Amino acid sequence: MHFIRGWRRSAAAITAIRSLSVKRFLCSIGSEDDTIFAVSSGQGRCGVAVVRVSGPASAHAVRSLTRGFPAARVASLRSITHPQTRELLDRGLVLWFPGPGSFTGEDSAEFHIHGGPAVISGVLQALGSLPGLRPAEAGEFTRRAFGAGKLDLTEVEGLGDLIHAETEAQRRQALRQMAGDLGRIYQDWRVRLKRCLAHVEAFIDFSEDELIEDGILNDVDTAVRQLQTDMENHLSDQRRGERLRSGVQVVIAGSTNAGKSSLLNMLTQRPAAIVSATAGTTRDVVEVPLDIGGYPVLLSDTAGLRDTTDSVEQEGVRRARQRVEQADLSLVVVDLTQVPSEPQLVPVFLSEHLKNILEHSSHRQQCILILNKSDLSSAEHNRSIQASLERSDDVPAACFLSCHTRDGLEDLLTLLQNRLKTLCGDPLIGSPSLTQTRHRTLLQKSVEALHQYHQYRDVDLVLAAEGLRLGLSSLGRITGRVGPEEILDTIFKEFCIGK
Amino acid sequence: MLVRRLRFPKTLSTCSIQASDIHTQHYDVIVVGGGHAGTEAVAAASRVGAKTLLITQKIQTIGALSCNPSLGGVGKGHLVKEIDALDGVMGRAGDWAGVHFSILNRSKGPAVWGPRTQLDRQRYKDFIQSELLSTPRVTILEGSVQDLLFTTADPEKPGRHKVYGIRLAHGGGEIHSRSVVLTTGTFLSGALFIGQNTSPGGRMADPPSCAGLSHTLKEVLGLKVGRLRTGTPPRIIKDTIDFSLTLIRLPDPSPTPFSFMNTHTHCKPEEQLPCYLTYTTPGVERVVKESSHHNSHIQQDTKGPRYCPSIESKVLRFPGRQHQVWLEPEGLTSDLMYPQGLSMTMPPEKQLCLIREIPGLQRAKICTPGYGVQYDFVCPTQLFPWLQVKSTQGLFLAGQINGTTGYEEAAAQGLWAGVNAGRTSLSKPPVSLSRTQSYIGVLIDDLIGRGVTEPYRMFTSRAEFRTALRPDNADLRLTLRGFEELGCVSEQRYNEALRVQVSLNDALSALKSIHLSASRWKDKLGDVNISETKSSILNGVEVLQYKDVSLQMLASAFPELAGLYLEFSERLKVEAIYRPHCEKQRKEIERMQAEESLYLPEDIDYLTLPVSLSQEVREILDSVRPSTLGAAARLSGITPAAIVHLFNYVHRNKHRNHS
């Protein structure tokens, strides 16, 4: 049996060799042995998303994410689970297209899943965790299909935009348009890494004849290390993808009887938590998963923070504090009627109050202040507070709300949605889950390559430089290629090279 | 052991041939110019079997080193090794004429070791001249070429024109040939500059090439021509230098020859000459600034190189810095020294003021002043990868005429143009070299693919696959193909390369067959730094990758296996270090080769091609006319979609033509 299977494969290999030069050419990024995946349904939110997989490891991907291998070319309903964590990601349709009778001519599969960003991101990350699988480059499915003779010219025309998306100029433009901070960060890394490589190249090509001191390599060592740290921090810090999958942790915190549970009930549109006029009603953490403007949120209501002798309430307060520690975003509820009416005292009062509830300054940066019970406070009082808040820089974003009359709810939701957008990255711009997974893979590759620099630094400078070259080319897949001419330009700008 | 005996050079006094004898003769290849490109072209064309004529203005300057008395270095040394691997002349000439051998970059990894030597000018010239004289099928003629001769182009091949020979100046008549290689160096519309004086010339005391040639290239063939400049330093009388104020630099105690066929150099280790290092001072900067209004070369905007600039431009671009000046011997018996780093074009009296600001040169005297040269070059994007002019059948260009600088760059192109001119004249198909296989391939691909904006010099940073393109393995990369496919390599050299290849492969297999745990290796090899954290088994090649492990150590532990290959101990060590990395790059190399092998038809009309291309893309393709799809893909402004369309078009047409 094994023998026969092996023989079949080698027959297929012979057919493959015939079109090898064609395929190799078309597969200009990565190798054709890789198995690629991407969301191939359109961009933006949709009911159903199609994730397509193509390449030799497609069958393995189907086996790893589902149970019961589907029949060829028949839609089968399956549970889709993460291969490592066994976490259930979604239930959807799975289709198996054995090569060569598939779109790309290779073994391929499709997962038809629910279109929410969390689900899509979860499935993409699950696929990315499998060996031999990587996110597809723009237009790569089309190129593979074209290489296998599956497309004629008119079809390619229709898909031309996809291929277009990959030119250097557009890549750089895409970089410029990338959410401000991210674009700046990548650009900064590119410049720094380019300079490191230029210095090593200068040392290799010119140090024997010119005045290029040995010290230059020590500077490169430091610069590369700093880059690695920055990139690694970025990779581990930015939980955006994870947040999309498991939800943004939003916690409601505040003093007792400020109206936290009322806020939870209003947001969830059901009485999820018990509300009473008695201070200390909520003892444990109440968790509700929510979808706010398309973003998955895990909203928790916590016990009011106060010193207490009640041992059950003490435990509730401890849990509340712990939850605040872990939260991505805090909604701090303040009873407006407790706020002093003298304008100069307002900022001080609120700052002190915030410090009491959010002990770490980092948490105070990720919080929204909710001034509740606006219906119980006089309009004049509210106006004067608002005016003093506008003059103060220390107090975070705040909004007035009445959980009773629902006044101010719209403003709160807008504010909340904007925060969530920043925390998750905006999944509606471009095709983010794809872009971000792709970026992550490339950045990881780049970091690994920088390790190679240190590994060989004292053994063989050429192999060390090769690490920097590799790192820069991986980064260049995001930011635009850096060719030898650009490296030489950098060298000649900084060094006087001349016999 | 195959060692080519270093022949004692004969003189060239008898080789001049009367022009009248030549009229009646027909040659396969005519090479115009006897510099580094020309001499390699002549030798290569004759090696592939072509009857070849070299025409030079002065027989006595064949093989002359017009500028620095040195050969090789980082990148350039790689080229010399490759020229030698293809059986060229330069490497062996260097081994004969070298007087100070050293391997640069010893501490930086064998892939970038730079074999280099100082040369005895006279010995170098003698060797080249005697080599050409003893090469079969070669005739040498002293004379000037006035013009090229054209006939109707072969409609079966690309090109609007076809060359069939040359016309000599001064009524020397016509000489016919199937191919012509132009290697005019700095002589094409050459002009010399010193101070504010300008005079026509290609080198001090030598006139430029005939104006007719330049006119024909521009006006008749319509080639795009540009202008570049270079320069050379003054030569200093050795006895007037106080070497005690400089730093001495000694050569390697045991000289390493360039040629794969030589085991030793002509110069004995103890006969080698030293070099000396000194530095510029603020006084130098002052003289440059004072004299800049007397310096017309510097004031013009003709493109000079950024990496071999005159002392004037160094001081003006990087003021306030100290610059190195190397004092290099011009030969064993020469009474001159060559101050590398002091190329200059200021008036001679200012040159003297300048050098006297430098430690060691305070009392120095100048024998001949430095000067600048400006010359025409043909934009190399108009060439095929086999260095033939695209519009003209049979016409090949090599060397500075293609916008390069340096002896090694010139010789590499000369060799390649010679091979192809020879093959074309013998009705064999032209051949090209991949940039994945050689620095010569990188050089030519850069030239024809990107063109030049300043004189082009080779650096190792230009090569994508630097770990594979090493000086030590140039023979394995090129010699085998050179014999089997190109016909430019002698059987003797081929057999030697085969022997090396077989031995290296056997040795690596033998080493791979030894499997031991890290701790067992330590027992066997003694105190070596192998990390024992790896529980896995290591084979002999993996152990050889470790810094302190040598083949000698393995040979004493396993004499029956490794002891046979001690002759190749250094090469095996290098192979062990780089092989895993080269394997990783293999796929990328194959991809690039596939791209390079997809030729675009020469007669393709991009402006009306019936495929979907934007006007911008059409214009770029039309102006550059890339030879391969790979070259097209590297052009800026060409979209991947355009490449897919082009590929589709070419691919379908190829099928149509076949059926």
What's the pLDDT tens digit per position in A181-196?
566 778 789 899 999 9
- Closest to B650 measured CA to CA, from B623, B624, B632: B632
The answer to whether A332 and A253 have CB atoms below 8 angstroms apart is: yes
pLDDT at A211: 66
Q: Which residues of A touch B633 (CB under 8 A)?
A: 28
- Closest to B503 measured CA to CA, from B545, B475, B463: B475
**Region A245-261 average pLDDT:** 80
**Region A474-482 average pLDDT:** 72
Confidence of residue A171 (pLDDT cuts 50, 70, 90): very low
Between CA B422 and CA B47 the distance in angstroms is 8
Q: Which residues contact A158 (CB under 8 A, 6 or more apart)?
A: none
Distances in Å between the alpha carbon of B576 and those of B7, B163, B542? 36, 50, 7
Residue contacts between A and B (CB atoms, under 8 Å) = 138
The answer to whether A377 and A384 have CB atoms below 8 angstroms apart is: no
Give the Cβ contact number of residue B70 at 10 Å.
24
Q: Which residues pair with A299 in a beta bridge?
A: A250, A288
A155 touches chain B (CB under 8 A): no
In the stretch 428-467 of chain A, residues with CB closer than 8 A to chain B read: 459-463, 465-466
**Is a pLDDT exceeding 60 seen at residue A1?**
no
Q: How is residue A348 written in tokens?
A: 């001080």
Collapse the DSSP code of B49 into the 3-class scheme (helix H, G, I; strand E, B; otherwise coil) and give the result.
coil
Between CA A245 and CA A403 the distance in angstroms is 30
Q: Is A402 left (phi over 0), alpha (psi -120 to 50) or beta?
A: beta
Q: Angle between the B569-597 and B491-512 helix axes, to the nearest 10 degrees?
A: 110
Q: Which residues contact B637 (CB under 8 A, 6 or more apart)?
A: B616, B617, B620
Q: Which amino acid makes up residue A389?
A: L
Q: Which residues of B touch A166 (CB under 8 A)?
A: 640
Q: Does B591 contact A25 at a Cβ distance shorter than 8 Å?
A: yes
**Is a pLDDT exceeding 70 seen at residue A170?**
no
| Range scoring the smallest mean pLDDT among A394-398, A451-455, B182-186 | A394-398
Q: When comparing pLDDT for B322 and A395, which is higher?
A: B322
The answer to whether B398 and B416 have CB atoms below 8 angstroms apart is: yes
Distance from CA of B112 to the nearest CA of A (A): 7
Q: Which amino acid makes up residue B550?
A: S
pLDDT at B534: 57
The conformation of residue B388, written as its DSSP 8-state character, comes to: B
Q: Which residues of B touch A29 (CB under 8 A)?
A: none
**Region A255-260 average pLDDT:** 83
pLDDT at B157: 86
Strand order in the sheet with B275-279: B247-249, B275-279, B324-329, B336-340, B235-237, B366-368
Between CA B538 and CA A126 the distance in angstroms is 34
Q: When comparing pLDDT for A358 and A146, which is higher?
A: A358
Pairing of the two strands A76-81 and B114-119: unpaired
Q: What is the pTM of this model?
A: 0.72
Angle CA(B497)–CA(B500)–CA(B504) in degrees, nearest 5? 145
Model ipTM value: 0.86
The answer to whether B175 and B23 have CB atoms below 8 angstroms apart is: yes
Q: Does A462 contact B466 at a Cβ distance shorter than 8 Å?
A: yes
The answer to whether B367 and B383 have CB atoms below 8 angstroms apart is: no
Q: What average pLDDT does the structure give for chain A?
A: 75
pLDDT at B658: 44
Between CA B70 and CA B83 the distance in angstroms is 16
Nearest CA in chain A to B649: A153
CA–chain centroid gap for B616, Å, is 35
pLDDT at B12: 42
- Give burial (CB, 10 Å; 0-12/13-18/19+) of A35: buried
Q: Does B636 contact A168 at a Cβ distance shorter than 8 Å?
A: yes
B647 touches chain A (CB under 8 A): yes
For chain B (length 659 residues), average pLDDT per consecutive 10?
Answer: 37 43 77 97 98 95 95 97 98 98 94 97 97 94 94 90 94 94 94 90 82 91 93 96 96 97 96 96 93 75 67 86 93 96 94 96 96 94 94 97 97 98 96 93 92 92 94 97 96 97 94 88 81 75 89 90 88 93 81 72 82 80 81 71 73 54
Give the Cβ contact number of residue B289 at 10 Å.
13
Q: Which amino acid makes up residue B203?
A: R
In the stretch 203-222 of chain B, residues with CB closer than 8 A to chain A read: none
Torsion of Cα atoms, B346 then B351 then B355 then B361, to 10° = 160
In B159-263, alpha helices (H): 211-215
Strands (E), B188-317: 191-194, 197-200, 225-232, 235-237, 247-249, 275-279
A488 touches chain B (CB under 8 A): yes
**Is a pLDDT exceeding 90 seen at residue A296?**
no
**Is a pLDDT exceeding 60 seen at residue A354?**
yes
Between CA B513 and CA B535 the distance in angstroms is 18
**Is a pLDDT exceeding 60 seen at residue A286?**
yes
Q: How is residue A11 written in tokens?
A: 């027959």
Between CA A271 and CA B578 the distance in angstroms is 68
Torsion of Cα atoms, B281 then B283 then B289 then B293, to 10° = -120
Confidence of residue A27 (pLDDT cuts 50, 70, 90): very low
Q: Which residues of B touch A487 (CB under 8 A)?
A: 461
- Closest to A194 measured CA to CA, from A491, A495, A399: A491
Q: Which residues of B touch A20 (CB under 8 A)?
A: 594
Between CA B11 and CA B145 the distance in angstroms is 25
Q: How is residue B415 written in tokens?
A: 């060799």
- Closest to B462 measured CA to CA, from B478, B482, B447: B447
Of B309, B594, B595, the CB nearest to A498: B309
Nearest CA in chain A to B341: A499
Q: Which amino acid makes up residue A486?
A: E
| Range scoring the smallest mean pLDDT among A97-111, A148-162, A403-417, B347-361 | A148-162
B462: Cα within 13 Å, side-chain hemisphere: 21
Q: How is residue A374 written in tokens?
A: 């606006």
B459 touches chain A (CB under 8 A): yes
Confidence of residue A244 (pLDDT cuts 50, 70, 90): low
In the stretch 103-142 of chain B, residues with CB closer than 8 A to chain A read: 104-105, 107-112, 114
Between CA B386 and CA A204 the distance in angstroms is 30
